Amino acid sequence: MLSEQDFIVNDNTTSVEKGTFQWSAPSNIALVKYWGKKENQIPANPSISFTLNNCKTITNLAFTKKHFDKLSVTNNRFSFDLLFEGKPKEEFKPKIQKFFERIDVYCPYLKDYHFTIDTENTFPHSSGIASSASGMAALAMNIMSLEKALNPTMTNQFFFQKASFLARLGSGSACRSIKGNIVVWGKHAEIEGSSDLFGVEFPAKIHENFKNYQDTILLVDKGEKQVSSTIGHDLMHNHPFAEQRFAQAHDNLAKIKIIFETGNLDEFIQIVESEALTLHAMMMTSLPYFILMKPNTLEIINTIWKFRNETNIPICFTLDAGANVHILYPENVREHVLQFIKDELVGYCQNGNYICDTIGNGSQILT
């Protein structure tokens, strides 16, 4: 069992002057939700997600070794330029600075280099789709490519585990964006290899019904988040229902493990929708309380329920910490569901916008 200490670099075996890497990492959508955390980004309960395929961040990391006299103060600072779609983006820098500070102890070589980080998303900015998961995962992959260049004997398993470990320190759910297609994060008694420190590929059997599962994201509200997820997680500390909720997440994960094996879509729907509503119920019952759903979120949910009752097509919804609705369904009903979305749901989306995605394989190296 790996501990935090195992991710600390002791010494580099190779010297590298400069280079460039480019990785893409996707977004992910949780089925059993993570809401509430302990110190150092340790989750209060385990979660499980589908890794997406089309909604992703592509990040290019160029690095050059700094040369300075040993006593210089700049020696001991992080040095980087941050570009978004090729143009300098000062507002993103504090988040990266904070990330570097958090992972400094695990990646002491970062201060030896000047970095140019150039990043872009395949989904529209301010679509209400959080780019923190895909963004932190893509950056963590690039950093691990540098670490592997410095320590070429590193195993593949360690490479991906540490990438997920670093991504987690950037944004908790980002650790589920390194691998596909279904990822568990958080220690669970019945999931072999599961850890609070990093995400692992779901290790058990997955029924055919879940192959190429579809996720169509209806963009209901593109506004800035009313409540940051950091504040939201914090509100679970004095929450009256916290303990029951954390226990429920363990139960739901045990149930979903069996569902993935049997392929029972009715039971899948029940857990996924209940988890989404529970996440929002936690927000509505914290102090301060808040509501992230919009009227159109509810319209969409009711329309999905009516369609499912009338057609028996196994579609369901889930929600993130926002108003957008993810519609999940098997590949074999795709045509029918897309027609339903066009006919009955597009009117509830801001400017008629929605994104078609599917379950995917996780991060990928581009150069």
Q: Which residues bind ligand PMV (CB under 6 A)?
A: 30, 33-35, 47, 132, 171-173, 229, 279, 320-321
Task: Closer to ligand PMV by CB, 60 or 127: give it.
Answer: 127
3-state secondary structure (DSSP) of residue 318: strand
> In angstroms, what is the minimal distance from the CB of 81 to ligand PMV?
25
> In angstroms, what is the minimal distance from the CB of 120 to ligand PMV?
20
> In angstroms, what is the minimal distance from the CB of 101 to ligand PMV?
17
> In angstroms, what is the minimal distance from the CB of 132 to ligand PMV?
6
* Rounded-to-integer distance, Cα 284 and Cα 287, Å: 8
Residues 6+ positions from 222 with CB-CB distance below 8 Å: 124, 126, 127, 128, 350
Task: Closer to ligand PMV by CB, 47 or 350: give it.
Answer: 47
> In angstroms, what is the minimal distance from the CB of 14 to ligand PMV?
34
Which among 91, 51, 72, 66 has a CA at the least distance from the CA of 213?
Answer: 51
* Rounded-to-integer distance, Cα 219 and Cα 355, Å: 8
Distances from the Cα of 257 to the Cαs of 6, 130, 178, 301, in angstroms?
29, 27, 20, 25
Task: Closer to ligand PMV by CB, 223 or 347: give it.
Answer: 223
* Rounded-to-integer distance, Cα 111 and Cα 115, Å: 10
> In angstroms, what is the minimal distance from the CB of 33 to ligand PMV?
4
Task: Closer to ligand PMV by CB, 148 or 294: give it.
Answer: 294
Task: Closer to ligand PMV by CB, 148 or 326: give it.
Answer: 326
H-run or E-run covering 283: helix 265-284
- Beta strand pairing status for 182-185 and 214-218? unpaired
> In angstroms, what is the minimal distance from the CB of 323 to ligand PMV?
13
* Rounded-to-integer distance, Cα 175 and Cα 168, Å: 5
Task: Closer to ligand PMV by CB, 34 or 160: give it.
Answer: 34
Distances from the Cα of 26 to the Cαs of 177, 212, 254, 367, in angstroms?
6, 15, 26, 17
Task: Closer to ligand PMV by CB, 321 or 337: give it.
Answer: 321
Strands (DSSP E) contained in 186-341 are 199-201, 214-218, 316-319, 325-329
Residue 341 DSSP one-character state = I
Task: Closer to ligand PMV by CB, 259 or 337: give it.
Answer: 259
Task: Closer to ligand PMV by CB, 8 or 284: give it.
Answer: 284
* Rounded-to-integer distance, Cα 67 and Cα 54, Å: 40
Q: How many CB atoms within 10 Å of residue 310?
A: 8
Which among 58, 171, 173 has a CA at the least distance from the CA of 121?
Answer: 58
CB 213 within 8 A of CB 53: no
> In angstroms, what is the minimal distance from the CB of 172 to ligand PMV?
4
> In angstroms, what is the minimal distance from the CB of 12 to ligand PMV?
31
